Amino acid sequence: MKRKLLSALICAALMLQVGATAGAATKASDGVVKIGVLTDMSGTYSDLAGPGALIAVQMAVADFIAKEKPDFKIEVISADHQNKGDIAAIKAREWIDREQVDVIVDLVTTSTALAVMKVAKEKNRITLVSGAASTPITNEQCTDINVHWTYDTYALAVGTGKAVVKQGGKTWFFLTADYAFGKSLEKNTSEVVVKEGGKVLGHVLHPFPAQDFSSFLLQAQASGAQVIGLANAGNDTINAIKQASEFGITPKQSLAGLLMFITDVHSLGLKTTQGMYLTTGFYWDRNDETRAWSKRFFEKKSRQPTMVQAGDYSAVTHYLEAIKAAGTDDTQAVMAKMKATPINDFFAKNGKIRVDGRMVHDMYLAQVKKPEESKYAWDYYNIRQVIPADQAFMPLSESVCPLVKK
């Protein structure tokens, strides 16, 4: 009897110890992991990021809770940064100081991403950039607690720029948004065009955002270039394509939408966009996994997700899984776990986060279908090429990120 009692006490003690370990397995600050979605809710990039980005993050949190049943709370808050770096930085500082936000997500627009990354580094908080594109995010302005998840201007240039030159578009003129993203996209694409044997005849900068592209398109037309490279995005790209068609510039000169989203194609229609090449990190109709997730997103948003929105889901899921694996939401511990763990989900297979914060994964060269090729709603792309991860993104050997040891 004494032996049984002793045995029971030992078992009880062991269970308490295991329970204490499990309870302490995730030491979340304040018992809450708070995620801030800072994006463009109402402006030129609201379709490709915006409310859809928030939905994607909420889906990631709900799925993680359902699957992992974490012993910590997860909260999601959001704000509109209006594509302005100063507003984004003020909101990020307020979130961290007053709301105890642990991670800031999306950050469409390069100026907002770089501004928030600076605040987050000062405050020791993680940033997960899905919406912004410029290579400085993981190059000269990289930080050790930032991840650039979905795409960048280097990948867009390698995909679309190279494809258009190979199709015979040898002379280029750029219509470029006058801020860091547009200039980065023009620079990266120009380098690819020249490397592939093409020639850049000139460029014109337009304000961001812009409505009237007439004078800029006339300069592009006067250049005589075979290809007008649109180094812009969102409503700027949509307006430029519409006006180029109205002015009769196309099809005499080809347009290369260097950053186009499925929402842009949907807005413009296949008749206007057919045959255009674009580079994307995600397409909803690529396989069973992408279709299954996108169907759930569609039920909430009534439109198919962009690569930015799918990237937000993937990034937040990886972040939450890293917290569970690390047993803490401590910034350095979570980031170390994120970098040590491959990404394998519907968005990326065998993806990995490099020392510079670049999440490398396969990209896809797509060509917009002709209207008669589209068989059902949102059936817009033919995937022409898979661009392997090691070719899609800038090699570390070319990086000037201070974290990269040469």
**Is the predicted pLDDT of residue 12 greater than 80, yes or no?**
no
Name the superfamily (CATH) of residues 159-280+364-392. Answer: Response regulator (3.40.50.2300)
Alpha-carbon distance of 350 to 389, in angstroms, equals 9
- What is the rounded CA–CA span in Å between residue 43 and residue 124? 29
51 phi, psi to nearest 5 deg: -55, -35
What is the pLDDT, as a whole number, of residue 200? 98
CATH topology of domain 29-151+286-361: Rossmann fold (3.40.50)
Calpha distance 74→26 (Å, rounded): 12
Neighbours of 150 (CB within 10 A): 29
Given this model, what pLDDT does residue 406 score? 63
Q: Which residue has the tokens 């950039």?
A: 129
User: First-to-last CA distance in the chain?
Assistant: 69
pLDDT digits over 266-295, tens only?
Answer: 999 999 999 999 999 999 999 999 999 999
User: Given this model, what pLDDT does residue 237 score?
Assistant: 97
Q: What is the mean pLDDT of residues 378-395?
A: 97
What value does the mean pLDDT take over residues 41-47? 97
Q: pTM for the whole thing?
A: 0.92
Are both 29-151+286-361 and 159-280+364-392 of the same fold? yes
Closest CA to 360 of 290, 291, 281: 281
What does the block give as tokens for 401? Answer: 């990120």
What is the share, in percent, of the chain residues with pLDDT greater than 90? Answer: 91
Task: For 164-191, write each residue's pLDDT tens digit.
Answer: 999 999 999 999 999 999 999 999 999 9
pLDDT per residue as tens digits for the range 301-323: 999 999 999 999 999 999 999 99
**In angstroms, how far is CA 132 from the centroid of its own chain?**
6
Confidence at residue 25, expressed as pLDDT on a 0 to 100 scale: 56
Domain ranges of the chain: 29-151+286-361, 159-280+364-392
The string of pLDDT tens digits covering residues 123-167 is 999 999 999 999 999 999 999 999 999 999 999 999 999 999 999
